[in-house]
Structure 1
Amino acid sequence: MYSNGLLSFPLTPFTADDTVDLPAFAEHVERQVAAGPDALFVACGTGEFTALSHAEYRDVVSTAVKVAGGRLPVMAGCGGGPRAAHEFARTAAEAGADGLLLLPPYLVSAPPSGLVDHVRYVAGATDLPVTVYQRATAVLDEAAAVALLDIPTVAGIKDGRGDVDHMLRLVTAVRSSGHPRAAAFGFLNGLPTAELSVQAYEAIGVGSYSSAVLCFAPEIATAFNRAVRSGDQATVQLLLGEFYLPFVALRDKVPGYAVALVKAGARLSGLDLGTVRPPLVDPTPEHLEQLAGILARGRAALTAAATTTAAA
């Protein structure tokens, strides 16, 4: 589905008076494009989709499309109840998005067959390709995954659950279905800090992954991706041990830090994208200090890896 597998999920910056900071967002998107991901996914989880008004959403998507300028595809998050998701999908299309990431239905749990109906309803809003995000209230089974192939604009499934056995069953069901779209159907690893699971997912045929680290430490995220693709296990293990595992340990201390720490990391890296909106909370001073130390360790590990490579 994507060539190098690395996907960007930009943050949405807010000003001190609680408006979307579009100039800061444009700069952030430009930096993300420069990092070389396969696609941008704006106004999604990391982009605080649920905190945006409809007008803000339109501005965020249209700004990303303008900044990207056709250099890479821009996908937009959409979600909520079926009617709300339908409206957001139409707005994304009007704003020039290249595709949609359909987030789980708000609050309501349903069987997999009901989820397929929900996807069909939202997909009918536009001709844009849709990636279905599996997590929380949206859990597919094998029959539902295969049924998605009959919705022409559904292009793939992004997994945020982390059940590799379950995901293998979905991939196998689709690939062996005999459906004419089966071979081209995409699968994405959408776990928080997906670098920890990228090798396990690659083993079951899921090569593309979201990288929140790309938002605040693109040099680390891109180096890790290159190491994975080239089979450089020494660099992979060094960056996991020195940066990713400590970052995840800090991330897991407070619910919502999967977004709040990323925003704080951007600020520590020289791009102030403001604070998170409630119910998310910003990192404590103690946790900010720990994050700064983790970033320093990661960058030191990156330098060490480069030195080792140059000497080899």
Structure 2
Amino acid sequence: MRLDGVLFFPVTPFDEAGAVAETALAEHVAQGVAAGAGGVFTACGTGEFNALDLDDYTRVVAGSVAATGGRVPVFAGAGGPAPAARAFAAAAAARGADGLLLMPPYLVSSPAEGLVRYVREVVAATDLPVIVYHRGNARFTPAAAAEVAAIPQVIGLKDGLGDFDLLQRIILTVRRAVDRDFTFFNGLPTAEFTVPAYRGLGVNLYSSAVFAFAPEIALAFYKGVTAGDDDLVQRLLTDFYLPLVTLRDQVPGYAVALIKAGVRLRGLDVGGVRAPLIDPTPEHVARLERIMNTGLEIAGA
């Protein structure tokens, strides 16, 4: 399965009672696909996987698959305690997902061989292709990454660390050890901000949280990068992404909460975030709106 273009990580809408708002989810996903997403990664970090129970998760995956209508691949998040990760993986397969993004195990630190064991145990619960998330306490050594990449169902690695020395070692080790297509992509928060650095390592694919609330900006940036329009890329990085990243770093969890606020600013009621996250202050929402409007102007939207 080949992924290309801008990868869309939708938020998970909640209604006033705190339940998954399935109608809003369907509209949100359908809008993203119509805008030109290259793939949908649902119930992942931006989708508050950490705050979903199995019933919530099942509704989100089923709704995303239905709204996508087979136009692009749908990957669903899985992770946490190994038994829970296996249950989520099975549920995603049963609801028609095309693949999984395997996020870190719950809390504990572990040796590299333990991470490999974790991946093997979750992968064994499903026939779906799996992308492994390299982030947090799931920090793979080059040798462990190569061992994981040798598992036939594992098709890629999403880097959320930004340790370029380690990532280069992983890429070289995996490419030498695995004789098949294997995808690496930039999964840092607000990934566009580091796209030029990742492209220097030959990692061109990236996730885009901005696409969830401003696909016009995300697509303008992508077109600028792929077409070699350095002036447009630098303007967006300087006048949109830099202020956005600065605001994001004001409060832990804003990498998700700001995105959800942005979706609301664009007219779709997706509710607030679940604990332990908090919604942005009115001052920060107003600041986000100014940043977004600047980005839309640069993008010509």
Q: Shorter-chain-normalised TM-score: which range? A: over 0.9
Match of 2:108 in 1: 108
**What is the DSSP-based 3-state SS (H/G/I as helix, E as strand, rest coil) of the residue aligned with 1:197?**
helix
2:243 aligned with 1:246: yes
2:179 corresponds to: 180
Residue number in structure 2 paired with 1:235: 232
| Equivalent position amino acid for 2:179 in 1 | P
In structure 2, the CA distance between the partners of 1:94 and 1:201, relative to structure 1 (3 Å rule), is: same
- Which of structure 1's runs of 4+ aligned residues deviate more than 2 A? 1-5
Q: Which residue of 1 aligns with 2:47?
A: 47
What residue identity is the alignment partner of 1:242? D
TM-score normalised according to structure 1 size = 0.94
Q: What corresponds to 1:197 in structure 2?
A: 194
CA distance in 2, matches of 1:278, 1:239: 32
| Residue from 195, 203, 206 that aligns with 1:209 | 206
CA drift of 1:207 comes to 1.1
Aligned to 1:157: 157
**Which residue, 262, 274, 280 being the options, matches 2:259?**
262
Q: CA 1:49–1:3 in 2, change beyond 3 Å: closer, same or farther?
A: closer
Deviation at 1:249, TM superposition (A): 0.3
Alpha-carbon contact 1:123-1:153 (below 8 Å) kept: yes
Q: Which amino acid aligns with 1:194?
A: A
The percent identity for this pair of structures is: 55
Which sections of structure 2, spanning at least 5 residues, go unmatched?
none
1:23-81 Cα distance to aligned partner (Å, 9 max, x none): 00000000110121221000000000111111110011011111111100000000111
Deviation, 1:3, is 5.6
Provide the residue aligned with 1:16 in structure 2.
Answer: 16
Q: Deviations over 1:214-252 (max 9, x none)?
A: 000110000100000001000000111111100000000
- Does residue 134 of the first structure (1) align with residue 134 of the second (2)? yes
Question: How many angstroms apart in 1 are the aligned matches of 2:218 and 2:7?
Answer: 10
User: 1:5/1:165 Cα in 2 relative to 1: closer, same or farther (>3 Å)?
Assistant: farther
The code of the aligned residue for 1:61 comes to V
Residue 164 of structure 2 aligns with an amino acid whose one-letter code is V
Whole-angstrom distance in 2 between the partners of 1:149 and 1:80:
20
Q: Which amino acid aligns with 2:271?
A: G
Query: 1:277 is matched with which residue?
Result: 274
- Could you say what secondary structure the match of 2:270 adopts? coil
Q: 2:69 aligned with 1:74, yes or no?
A: no
Cα distance, 1:2 vs. partner?
A: 4.5
2:85 is aligned to 85
TM-score (norm 2): 0.98
Q: Secondary structure at the match of 1:11?
A: coil
CA distance 1:76–1:187, change in 2 (3 Å): same
One-letter amino acid of the structure 2 residue matched with residue 127 of structure 1: D
Identify the residue that residue 223 of structure 2 maps to in structure 1. 226
Distance of 1:159 and 1:88 partners within structure 2: 22
What letter matches 2:286 in structure 1?
E
**Alpha-carbon contact 2:93-2:128 (below 8 Å) kept:** yes
Q: Distance in 2 between matches of 1:123 and 1:101?
A: 11
Deviation (angstroms), 1:176: 1.8
Shift of residue 180, structure 1, vs aligned partner:
2.7
Match of 1:117 in 2: 117
CA distance in 2, matches of 1:18, 1:176: 48
**Unaligned stretches of 5+ residues in structure 1:** 307-312
Give the number of equivalent residue pairs: 301
Q: RMSD in angstroms over aligned alpha carbons? A: 1.2
